[in-house]
Structure 1
Amino acid sequence: MSAAPLLWLLCAGGAAAWGPFLREDMRPKVSERRAQTPGEIAELPQGRTHFRWYGEPGNPVLVCVHGLTTPGYVWSRAAPLLADMGYHVLTYDLLGRGWSDRPMGAQDAQFFTTQFSDLLEALDIEGPVTLFGYSMGAAIASAFAAERPERIEKLVLVAPAGMGGYPTGLIRWMRDAGVSGKWLFNLLYPWLHGRTARGGIAEGVPEAKARMQAQEPMWRGFTPAVLAALRGILRDPQELEHRKIAKAGLPLLSIWAEEDQAIPLDGMGVLSRWNRASVSKQVPGAGHWLPLSHPEELVRAYRSWLWEDGEI
């Protein structure tokens, strides 16, 4: 074989090998869209963090933590309802998502709890807060509550990860497959994510929010952040954390989506074994997009729990 065809084959092979990573590096930076940010930016040690308040300052603080791929706007329908209950509601974007910075590297529990702790300090939030966590956000909230129970008034986990059983199938294989899994994840995940996001419309997600969610992989750092969290905070069940929460006596409510195709409902039984004082409720007809598709039902489940505890 002559030198020219051999060189062409080597170049083609290199392009195939590095293509998914080069495409990721060529995506626009999230800083290019911050002019449209519907909130504020906190300068934290790990990176700039986007946050937004709902409700009246001076009211008890309630913080909402979003999931693996859905930025803080996943709470945009539920947060005003929680504010109407008399809370000052804080939502924010986890690093690697939404309008927040995209640092590279591992995304284990400490990565996320440090961001949360730094945000509380930056915003001068001193007393105990009510903490809502959705999907992966529930795993983050649980890790923080186990580490700092004195900072938590009540813990509410919505369609919660952390009890095992997620992810499954191809996503699980890519998570566990080392460099080859990383290559395939960078190649396939933007398309898989867009398909899943657009499918939320059929579950009751407003079309505008579904479109926003489908576009997240177009921004640099999102896809690597998702894989880093799958290989980090979402890799192992949180039995130790939940047993610490139980020992601390923190009030804990878990709210589950009856038609959830992402988080197995048998997690309810797992959580009950780890924390027998926890309370579980289900939202009939809801899928995994619960905060966007069924915000009224979600807040009603929380209110009914407070009513049962004699707090309202």
Structure 2
Amino acid sequence: MIWLLLIFAALVAAPFVREHYRPKMSDGRRGSAPGQFAELSQGVTHFHQSGPPDGPLVVCVHGLTTPSFVWEPLAKGLNALGFRVLVYDLLGRGFSDRPEGVQDKAFFNTQLRDLLEHLEIDAPFHLIGYSMGGAVATGFAATYPVRVRRLVMIASAGMQIATTPMVRFIRDRGVAGQWLMLAAYPFILRRGIEAERAAPNAYHAICDGQKAQLEFAGFVPAVLASLRGILRHPMAGEHMTLHRNAVPLLAIWGAEDDVIPASAMGQLAQWNRDAVHEVIEDAGHALTYLQADEVLAHIAGFLPAPEGDDWGHDT
């Protein structure tokens, strides 16, 4: 009987032990990273700027599991149009630190606000968010509407909340949910990445970079912290605030997206009837890199052209 108890205890402890012994993100591991680093109030944030120094600023916020490299195709296109682009790794991902605690709207607002202060960016800028980054961008724009010129959401979270039994258990069941997240999520994410890699138009560099996130301590807990934080509730109040403050909003959807379905646009339209919607046919969730040209065309038609645009200069 004692052996059965020991085996059971080992099985229970295994996911926590495995997470504890994963390598930590450190200065040594950041040596190969492009861009720069900022020591902010919540820890180190990795960021990268590109494009003409005097171009209008576009800040891009990535999603739940894929760090800032997900923006590479779109950033190049925006640079070619004359925009200056700032991308950064959300805390818990990429080359940024992995602080503990719930990752709610205030958490993500603090990181972006600190980064802008570090870079001495005071002028209003355009803000683009992808997937969970759409919810992060929405939260920031609703809190600081005078700082955001135009908001673009790509396959954005914040309208509908995942309600599968597993997601509810992981989100709501404390330590038991944490155990299941640590035990099951790496397998689920790897399976999804390999399915994407097998697609005819796969972007292998993105798949490799996303899979590498699982090697480091703090990544899976960060995903859980976001599920229990900013992804826990719909962002009705924030979108109504954006509507009241007349922040121009473009929402881009993939017609075949099975992560955040295009039907979410109906909910957003109820909250903000002035939002502009564009649907890309035959597109899934990976819009920022598999449909970068089409997404860029919609963004270019929505943002003011850089020529003669003096709003993007810092003051």
Matches within 5 A, 1:139-218: 139-166=135-162, 168-201=164-197, 202=199, 204-218=201-215
Q: Which residue number in structure 2 is paired with residue 126 of structure 1?
A: 122
Amino acid aligned to 1:192: I
Larger mean Cα displacement after TM superposition, 32-41 or 20-29: 32-41
1:299 pairs with 2:283: no
Q: Which residue number in structure 1 is paired with residue 49 of structure 2?
A: 53
Matches within 5 A, 1:232-251: 232-251=229-248
- Taking the aligned partners of 2:217 and 2:134, their CA distance within structure 1 comes to 25
Change (3 A) 1:104 1:307: closer
- SS of equivalent residue, structure 2 residue 237: helix
In the TM superposition, residue 225 of structure 1 has moved relative to its aligned partner by: 0.4
8 Å Cα contact 1:64/1:132 also seen in 2: yes
- Taking the aligned partners of 2:258 and 2:58, their CA distance within structure 1 comes to 28
In the TM superposition, residue 53 of structure 1 has moved relative to its aligned partner by: 1.0
Q: In structure 2, which of residues 11, 17, 24 is the aligned counterpart of residue 22 of structure 1? A: 17
- Taking the aligned partners of 1:298 and 1:172, their CA distance within structure 2 comes to 32
Q: In structure 1, which of residues 214, 222, 226 is the aligned counterpart of residue 223 of structure 2? A: 226
Matches within 5 A, 1:75-114: 75-114=71-110
Amino acid aligned to 2:73: R
TM (normalized to structure 1)? 0.93
8 Å Cα contact 1:145/1:151 also seen in 2: yes
8 Å Cα contact 1:205/1:292 also seen in 2: no
Q: Which residue number in structure 1 is paired with residue 32 of structure 2?
A: 36
- Taking the aligned partners of 1:137 and 1:306, their CA distance within structure 2 comes to 19
- Taking the aligned partners of 1:143 and 1:193, their CA distance within structure 2 comes to 26
In the TM superposition, residue 12 of structure 1 has moved relative to its aligned partner by: 2.5
In the TM superposition, residue 55 of structure 1 has moved relative to its aligned partner by: 0.5
1:264 pairs with 2:261: yes
Amino acid aligned to 1:146: A
- Taking the aligned partners of 1:197 and 1:75, their CA distance within structure 2 comes to 17
Higher relative contact order (CA 8 A, sep 6+): 2
Q: Which residue number in structure 1 is paired with residue 68 of structure 2?
A: 72
Segments of 5+ residues of structure 1 without an aligned counterpart are none
TM (normalized to structure 2)? 0.92
Q: In structure 2, which of residues 46, 49, 59 is the aligned counterpart of residue 63 of structure 1? A: 59
Aligned length: 305
8 Å Cα contact 1:203/1:287 also seen in 2: no
- Taking the aligned partners of 1:268 and 1:58, their CA distance within structure 2 comes to 35
8 Å Cα contact 2:161/2:233 also seen in 1: no
Q: Which residue number in structure 1 is paired with residue 312 of structure 2?
A: none
In the TM superposition, residue 58 of structure 1 has moved relative to its aligned partner by: 1.7
Deviations 1:10-50 (A, max 9, x none): 43232212110110010011214211101111110101000
8 Å Cα contact 1:204/1:292 also seen in 2: no
Deviations 1:40-75 (A, max 9, x none): 111101010000111011211100000011100010
- SS of equivalent residue, structure 1 residue 220: coil
8 Å Cα contact 1:166/1:262 also seen in 2: no
8 Å Cα contact 1:203/1:286 also seen in 2: no
- Taking the aligned partners of 1:275 and 1:239, their CA distance within structure 2 comes to 9
- SS of equivalent residue, structure 2 residue 53: coil
Percentage of identical aligned residues:
46
Segments of 5+ residues of structure 2 without an aligned counterpart are 310-315
8 Å Cα contact 2:161/2:231 also seen in 1: no
In the TM superposition, residue 306 of structure 1 has moved relative to its aligned partner by: 4.4
- Taking the aligned partners of 1:24 and 1:122, their CA distance within structure 2 comes to 32
Change (3 A) 1:174 1:150: same
- Taking the aligned partners of 2:212 and 2:163, their CA distance within structure 1 comes to 22
Root-mean-square deviation (CA), in Å? 1.8
Amino acid aligned to 1:248: N
8 Å Cα contact 2:134/2:158 also seen in 1: yes
Amino acid aligned to 2:29: R
- SS of equivalent residue, structure 2 residue 30: helix
Larger mean Cα displacement after TM superposition, 193-202 or 109-118: 193-202
Structure 1 or 2: more helix by fraction: 1
